[in-house]
């Protein structure tokens, strides 16, 4: 099988980008030929002799930039030229904004496996914009949503990454998608023995200020009663990172925080495995690879509902689910884990078993590849 994978960007390690890259490597190990096309791929982060990488533009072509929209037809044409030249058996798109380049190709199936379907319905692309630009984008986004819906008509098949995402796709695009879960590499994300005397709470700084700030403000309430744990924060996103450190200083909890900055996959595995609990509070989560990674490392997780975390986490067994941004619930469940380190270990064991049974990446890659091959044969 020769396949063109189309993604928005490959500029940082994590989430949809890492999943697509690992799936590409899985395909090449099966003898398939993979061409990865995105606006821009950072070859310092993603480089392989087996995967062919083609950039359509550069890092300045952001969806909220004028350059992106004035060059949209050129980007679409470049993609068409690549497909014509490469003659793949199949083209697989990811999520917005690359869905805007979707088009029919003669005798070539066009599929979509979006990892996040809420990007056009949330403020992900507007949070860091000046106020006036943010207001303009919110109005312009109404047109973009209409244009994006029309583009989805080009897909021969859409594959959801969770039942929750599948329902959202039905609501927004009137589709009945197939479903294949992503997953964690259980041979890479391995558990290790936890130091029960040095408790830690792990947070991921993923560019969303509100969710980490909310967690920190509530953890501060626990610190007023006890100080027998540390808060680990992994990730680094420039201005956002500086803002987060300012929040930590203003809250007066600096001595309880360890910032690790941008970490390698191996270091991330280590942090997952050594932490006593992983907290990630994204609202309306379409799936969340981070949950399966932490669980694979034997660490219980705390996440928000509603969303796909309800499909991944067994509430009270492998972690806890809180109602969206409910501080009292977050404090309650954190204290349960801090008070009962052995229970935390038991939850972690159950979490790893659940990932091995249902969310192992190799098993899920096999399902996805089988589905793609059905469209070729």
> What band does 27 get if pLDDT is binned at 50, 70 and 90?
very high
> What band does 200 get if pLDDT is binned at 50, 70 and 90?
very high
DSSP strand pairing (277-279 vs 319-323): unpaired
More confident residue, 245 or 361: 361
pLDDT at site 121:
62
DSSP notation for 148-171: HHHHGGG-SEEEESSHHHHHHHHH
Per-residue pLDDT tens over the stretch 272-303: 999 999 999 887 788 888 999 999 999 999 99
Residue 197: which residues within 8 A CB-CB, separation 6 or more? none
Q: Are 64 and 126 in contact (CB under 8 A)?
A: yes
Which helix (H) or strand (E) is 75 found in, with range? Answer: helix 72-86
Per-residue pLDDT tens over the stretch 319-351: 999 998 899 999 999 999 999 988 899 999 999
The vertex-175 CA angle with 169 and 178, nearest 5°, equals 80
Per-residue pLDDT tens over the stretch 39-77: 988 888 788 889 999 999 887 887 767 788 889 999 999
Mean pLDDT in residue range 236-264: 80
Q: Are 360 and 351 in contact (CB under 8 A)?
A: no
Per-residue pLDDT tens over the stretch 123-133: 655 555 567 66
Cα separation, 163 vs 166, in Å, equals: 5
Superfamily for domain range 2-183+361-374: Glycogen Phosphorylase B; (3.40.50.2000)
Q: 2-183+361-374 and 199-358 share one CATH topology? A: yes
pLDDT at site 81:
96
Domain assignments of the chain as residue spans, ordered by start: 2-183+361-374, 199-358
* Sign for the pseudo-dihedral over CA of 61, 74, 82, 95: positive
pLDDT at site 248:
84
> What band does 33 get if pLDDT is binned at 50, 70 and 90?
very high
Question: Which residue has tokens 């964690």?
Answer: 184
Predicted TM-score of the model (pTM): 0.88
pLDDT at site 128:
56
Cα separation, 177 vs 43, in Å, equals: 33
254, pLDDT greater than 90: no
And the tokens for 289? 């690879």
Question: Which residue has tokens 């942090």?
Answer: 271
> What band does 252 get if pLDDT is binned at 50, 70 and 90?
confident
239, pLDDT greater than 70: no
- Beta bridge mates, 200: 230
pLDDT at site 238:
60
pLDDT at site 145:
84
Percent residues over pLDDT 90 in the chain: 52
Residue 182: which residues within 8 A CB-CB, separation 6 or more? 19, 115, 161, 287, 289, 292, 359, 361, 364
Class of the CATH domain delimited by 199-358: alpha beta
Per-residue pLDDT tens over the stretch 109-149: 999 998 877 666 666 555 555 676 677 777 777 888 888 88
> What band does 231 get if pLDDT is binned at 50, 70 and 90?
very high
Cα separation, 333 vs 92, in Å, equals: 40
Mean pLDDT in residue range 156-171: 92
232, pLDDT greater than 80: yes
Cis, bond preceding 306 (omega within 30 deg of 0): yes
pLDDT at site 235:
78
And the tokens for 334? 């954190």
Cis, bond preceding 139 (omega within 30 deg of 0): no
> What band does 83 get if pLDDT is binned at 50, 70 and 90?
very high
- Beta bridge mates, 41: 10
**In Å, what is the CA distance from 183 to each residue of 117, 288, 317, 364?**
18, 9, 19, 7
pLDDT at site 54:
94
């Amino acid at each position: 099988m020769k396949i063109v994978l189309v993604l928005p960007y490959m500029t940082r390690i994590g989430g949809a980008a890492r999943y697509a890259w690992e799936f590409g490597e899985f395909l090449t190990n099966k003898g398939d030929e993979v061409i990865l096309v995105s606006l821009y791929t950072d070859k310092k982060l993603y480089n392989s002799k087996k995967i062919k990488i083609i950039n359509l533009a550069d890092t300045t072509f952001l969806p909220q930039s004028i350059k992106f929209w004035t060059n949209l037809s050129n980007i679409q044409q470049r993609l068409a030229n690549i497909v014509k030249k490469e003659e793949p058996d199949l083209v697989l798109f990811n999520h917005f904004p690359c869905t805007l380049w979707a088009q029919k190709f003669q005798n070539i199936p066009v599929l979509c496996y979006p990892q996040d379907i809420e990007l056009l319905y949330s403020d992900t692309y507007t949070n860091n914009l000046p106020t006036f630009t943010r207001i303009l984008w919110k109005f312009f986004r109404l047109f973009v949503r209409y244009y994006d819906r029309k583009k989805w008509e080009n897909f021969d098949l859409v594959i959801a990454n969770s039942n929750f995402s599948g329902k959202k796709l039905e609501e927004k695009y009137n589709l009945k998608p197939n479903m294949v879960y992503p997953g964690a590499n259980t041979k890479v994300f391995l558990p290790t023995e936890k130091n029960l005397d040095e408790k830690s709470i792990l947070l991921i700084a993923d560019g969303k200020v509100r969710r980490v700030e909310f967690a920190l403000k509530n953890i501060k309430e626990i610190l007023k009663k006890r100080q027998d744990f540390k808060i680990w924060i992994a990730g680094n996103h420039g201005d956002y990172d500086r803002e987060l450190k300012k929040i930590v200083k203003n809250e007066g909890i600096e001595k309880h925080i360890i910032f690790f900055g941008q970490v390698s996959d191996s270091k991330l595995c280590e942090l997952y495995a050594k932490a006593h609990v992983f907290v990630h509070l994204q609202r309306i989560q379409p799936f969340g690879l981070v949950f399966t990674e932490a669980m694979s490392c034997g660490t219980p997780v705390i996440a928000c509902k509603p969303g796909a975390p309800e499909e991944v986490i067994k509430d009270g067994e492998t972690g806890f689910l809180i109602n969206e941004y409910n501080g009292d619930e977050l404090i309650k469940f954190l204290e349960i884990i801090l008070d009962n380190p052995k229970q935390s270990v038991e939850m972690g064991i159950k979490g790893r078993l659940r990932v091995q049974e249902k969310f192992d990446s190799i098993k899920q890659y096999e399902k996805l590849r089988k589905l793609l091959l059905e469209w070729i044969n």
